[in-house]
Structures are given as structure tokens and as C-alpha cells.
Amino acid sequence: MSRLGVDGEEAAGMMRERTLAGAVSELADLLVGDYDVADLLDLLVAKIVLLVDVAEAALLLPDQHGSLQVMASSDERAGLVELYQAQAGEGPCRDCHRTGEMVRVADLNEATSRWPRFARLALEQGYAAVHAIPLRSRDEVIGAVTLFGTTPGDLPIEALSLARALADVATIGIVHARAGGRRDVLVAQLEHALHSRIVIEQAKGVLAERDRTTVDEAFRALRDFARRNGYRLTDVAREVAERRLPPERIVEGRTGPGRVGGEP
């Protein structure tokens, strides 16, 4: 191998390490102070897609009744498939959450008998492979994240280990010390995350309708505005959904005067 090739591999490896370190640092930063669980989960799926060779990612957590709910998705299509999985009662994420074991499906065409409804919808949406990783807190499985691929193939163990490491950081955030080990507080946090997700979906609809754009583009604009200005995603979404924050400030990317949480 030429020296140029070696240098190229070393440079790529260093870049991956820096990117990973930055992702972990960004996730860890959210654990300082009064963070928002919805922000943490949104950042998790975004970083998994960025760092792992997958097309999309989505995350399911149980509500206070034990029913799995979609808490975060990197794309509207992935969120739709996860929602169907939760409602249909079958799929890799459900199996992963139930057993606490990673689920790896390199070719969804071979899973049509295992999950007939889920596999059919996922294939129709353009996905060809899925992997599910549990979110574990000691002996308890508190959720699972699904990784979607658009071409058949198993993910390398290094990629799965990376996704698991990022999921572990998010898990720590969910069961952070402020929960004090109390299950009722943890449930309340997850309920808050679910309600936050509903508000975010409402804001996405407002922005998409106003700007005649897709909900995915609307979500990116909403998320970018929140991060650029140091606001919580949920707070920005609530201001937009309740028509207190003009949509044009979001879609045009303006910071402008005023602050979220008060009069814009």
C-alpha cells in the first residue's frame, strides 16, 4: 500500500474519532443542568445517522401504561414505520425491548414471516435492513432504537458498538441522577418526552403548511433554530404551535429580537 493510502486511512480514522468525540461531548453537554429529554433523544438519532452507516434511526420508549411510543426519529418516513411497529405489536424494536437483546436483520425480505405487517410496510418505504439496539439501565430495558438501511447487509460490529455507545449516553441521560432512582420520576420524565413530541409534531405541521414544505424540512428548520439560539426544542415548538413565535423567524433562520418563552 502506498504511503498516500496509509495517510488517507489515518486521516479518515482521526476524523472519525474527532467526530465521535464531538458527538459524545454534545450529548454529554445536554446532561448538565435542567436538560430536556426530547432534545436528548432527538440529538441521539441525529448523531447515530451521522456516525453509523445507516439511512435513518428512530427510538421507542414505553409510556406509563407500558405501551411503546415513538419518541424521536431522524426522518418522517422512519417515524411512520416505527409508529406502525408500535401499533401493530410486531417488529425488531418491540422484540429488542421485550428481550433486551440486539436484533439484526440484514435482509428484510427474509423477515416477512417473522413480522409480516412490519416487514411489508418497511419494504414499501424503501428500507431493506434493520437493526435494533436496547437502551439498558442495569437489568431494566427502558427502550430501543431502530437503525434503518436502504440496502441489504449486516452492520459491522464496530458500527453497532458505536451506536450502542451513543445509546448508552442517552440512557444515562434518561435515568439521570435527578430521578434519584425513583421509577415514578423516570416515568414522569418519559411522559414529558412524549408530550414534548406531540408539541413538536404540531409545530412541524404549522411550519410545513406555512412554508409549503415537507415536514422533514420543517423539523430541520425548527431544530436548527433552537440549537442556533440556545433554546430548548420543545420550548420553540410550543411557541410555534401556539402561534406566539412567527413561523417566518424559523424558516428564514433569523434570530432577531425577543426570546422563546416570552413575547417574540
* Cα distance between the two ends of the chain: 59
Buried b (16+ CB within 10 A) or exposed e, 87-125: eeebbbbbbbbeeeebbbbeebeebeeebeebbebbeeb
Helix axes 183-211, 233-241, angle to 10 degrees: 50
Query: How would you write the pLDDT of the chain (264 residues) with one tens digit per residue?
Result: 444 444 554 544 455 556 655 666 666 665 565 667 777 888 889 889 988 889 999 999 887 778 888 888 888 888 889 888 888 889 999 999 999 999 999 999 999 999 999 999 999 999 999 999 999 887 888 899 999 999 999 999 888 888 888 888 878 877 763 455 445 555 665 666 666 777 877 887 888 777 777 777 887 788 888 878 878 778 888 888 888 888 888 866 544 434 454 433
Per CATH, domain 3-179 is 3.30.413.10:
no
Delimit the CATH 3.30.450.40 region(s) of the chain: 3-179
- Starting at the earlier edge strand, list the strands of the sheet with 129-137: 68-73, 56-62, 140-149, 129-137, 103-105
Greatest pairwise CA separation for the chain in angstroms: 62
Residue 141 β-bridge partners: 136
d(CA 174, CA 166): 13
